[in-house]
Amino acid sequence: MLLRFRLNGRPVEVETPPGRRLLDLLRQDLGLIGTKEGCGEGECGACTVVVDGKPRLSCLTLAIQVEGKDVLTVEGLAQGGKNHPLQEAFIEAAGVQCGFCTPGLLMAAYALLLHRPNPTKEEVREWLSGNLCRCTGYEQIVEAVMQAAQKFKGIGGGRA
């Protein structure tokens, strides 16, 4: 099928089987390799993207399920060559070690901040509960999201 959707703010048209995984469409067909594949079955969150403002696992999403939708991947976070406040905060708070989980965590956190610009720590933990990290022990990540929430307001708020 000819699939049309918005990707990181731009309209795209791509020829794809409708049953192709969004993850493969992004990584293999569109060359956006920021989105990672960990488990491939919903358990790790490494493949998290944001679809119409909500977090979604791209390993459990078919191409046809994003037809006409607005998809944001980690590549869409930085604007004009500048990191998104979330990315900055992850670096500052040492929320990144090997980095494999980072794109998924960033997108889950981004979705949280869209809904709750001033989250509590408890809410941050809840919203990141589907994302596994084998390195950091999570505390730094929660801290990073709390820091970013302070700076995030007004910076990329309304965009999905």
Partner 1 sequence: MRPIPVVKPKDLAETLRYLEEGGKPIAGGTDILVAIRKGLEKPPFLVYIGELSELRVLEEKEEGIEVGAALTHLELLSHRGTERLPILRQALRTIGSPAIRATGTIGGNVVTASPAGDSLVALYLLEAQVRLVSQAGERMLPIHEFITGPRKTALKSGEIVRSIFLPYPEGEPLSFFRKVGRRRALVIAVASLGALVWSKNGRVEKARLALGSVAPTILRPREVEEALVGRPVSPEAWEDLVPVLSAATNPISDLRASAEYRRKVAGRLLLALAQTLQTMA
Ligand X SMILES: Cc1cc2nc3c(=O)[nH]c(=O)nc-3n(C[C@H](O)[C@H](O)[C@H](O)COP(=O)(O)OP(=O)(O)OC[C@H]3O[C@@H](n4cnc5c(N)ncnc54)[C@H](O)[C@@H]3O)c2cc1C
- The contacts of residue 139 (CB under 8 Å, 6+ apart) are none
Compute the distance between CA of residue 9 and CA of residue 12 in angstroms, rounded to an integer: 9
Contact positions with ligand FES (CB under 6 A) in 2-31: none
Compute the distance between CA of residue 92 and CA of residue 112 in angstroms, rounded to an integer: 20
- Select from 27, 45, 87, 147 the one that contacts ligand FES (CB under 6 A): 45
65 interacts with ligand FES by CB under 6 A: no
Query: What is the DSSP code string of 78-132?
Result: SBTTB--HHHHHHHHTT--SS-SSHHHHHHHHHHHHHH-SS--HHHHHHHTTT--
Q: How far is the CB of 39 from ligand FES (least distance, A)?
A: 4
Residue 2 corresponds to which tokens in the numbers above? 């000819």
43 interacts with ligand X by CB under 6 A: yes
Compute the distance between CA of residue 128 and CA of residue 16 in angstroms, rounded to an integer: 31
Of 39 and 94, nearer to partner 1 (C-beta) is 39
42 interacts with ligand X by CB under 6 A: yes
Q: Taking the C-alpha atoms of 30, 34, 37 and 38 in order, what is their torsion angle to the nearest 10 degrees?
A: 180
Of 24 and 159, nearer to ligand FES (C-beta) is 24
99 interacts with ligand X by CB under 6 A: no
Binding site for ligand X (CB under 6 A): 42-43
Binding site for ligand FES (CB under 6 A): 37-40, 42-47, 57, 59, 96-101, 133-136
Binding site for partner 1 (CB under 8 A): 17-21, 24, 40-43, 45, 48, 54-57, 60-62, 64-65, 67, 108, 111-112, 126-127, 129-131
